Structure 1
Amino acid sequence: MADSLKAHVDISSKGADQFVELYYKVFDTKRSVLNRLYRDSSAILWNGNAFSGITPFAEFYNKLSPSEHSVNTYDCHPLPTQAGPNTPGSIIVNVSGTVRYSNEKKDRLFSQSFVLSPDPTNGSFYVWSDCFRFV
């Protein structure tokens, strides 16, 4: 049991490392493909604006000025799954950092929480829930 939990924590940690690097790189440099990380069922809350699904969110974020994120810290942990110890479960990823949009003079602090869920169609993960907030 302890070995199984350690394995899930290790997998979650590696997944979070890869996800955080990829997510902010894509957001800042290739925003037009950011939608590939979400699904139509994704729940998104961006600084008080709720979006159900990727299409309205993509329309919103594609109107934002170019950005540059700097991640200060992030943490993650696996969520238990009912499917068994060898089945990947979801991962919660909490991120904090700064972002500067090209139309602003100062960096802004942000906090962002993701729930990454396994995608049974391709073995990867997608953003099931995304909650972004300026601090």
Structure 2
Amino acid sequence: MANSLKGHVDTSSKGADAFVGIYYQLFDTQRPVLNRVYRDTSAILWNGNAFSGIGPFSEFYNKLSSSEHTVNAYDCHPLPTSTAPGTPGSMILNVSGTVKYSNEASARHFSQSFILSPDPTNGSFYVWSDCFRFV
């Protein structure tokens, strides 16, 4: 049991490291590509605005001015799963940092929580749920 949990924690940590590195780079430099990490069934809450699926959210975030995210900290933990160790399961990922939009005078603090689920078609993760909030 302990080895199984450690395997899931290790797999989640590696997945979170990769996801954080990719997500904010895409958001800041290649927003149209960001669609690939969401699905039509993704639930998204962006600073109090709810979106169901990537289509409406994509329209929203493509209207935002250019941005520059700085991630200060993130942490993840696996959700209960019946998959074998080394096999990715879903995870919760919490990120905090700052974001500077080009139309704003200064950076703003943010907190973002994701539920990431494994994508069996390519071995990566996709965003099942995303909750972003300025703090």
- Tell me if both proteins adopt one fold, taking TM over 0.5 as the criterion: yes
Moved more, 44-53 or 114-123: 114-123
Question: Cα offset for 1:31?
Answer: 0.6
- Per-residue displacement from partner, 1:36-59 (whole Å, max 9, x unpaired)? 000000000000000000000000
> After the TM superposition, which residues 1-135 of structure 1 pair with which residues of structure 2 at under 5 Å, given as runs?
1-81=1-81, 83-86=82-85, 87-135=87-135
- For residues 125 and 112 of structure 2, the distance between their equivalents in structure 1, rounded to whole angstroms, comes to 17
Question: Cα offset for 1:118?
Answer: 1.0
Q: Give the gaps of 5 or more residues in structure 1.
A: none
Question: Cα offset for 1:126?
Answer: 0.3
Q: Secondary structure at the match of 1:114?
A: strand
Q: How many residues align?
A: 134
TM-score by length of structure 1 reads 0.96
- For residues 36 and 84 of structure 1, the distance between their equivalents in structure 2, rounded to whole angstroms, comes to 24
Q: Give the gaps of 5 or more residues in structure 2.
A: none
Q: Which is bigger in relative contact order (C-alpha 8 A, separation at least 6)?
A: 2
Question: One-letter code of the match for 2:37?
Answer: L
Determine what percentage of the aligned residue pairs are the same residue.
78
Question: One-letter code of the match for 1:40?
Answer: D
How large is the Cα RMSD of the aligned pairs?
1.0
Question: One-letter code of the match for 2:8?
Answer: H
- Contact 2:46–2:132 (CA<8 Å) still a contact in 1? yes
Question: Cα offset for 1:88?
Answer: 2.7
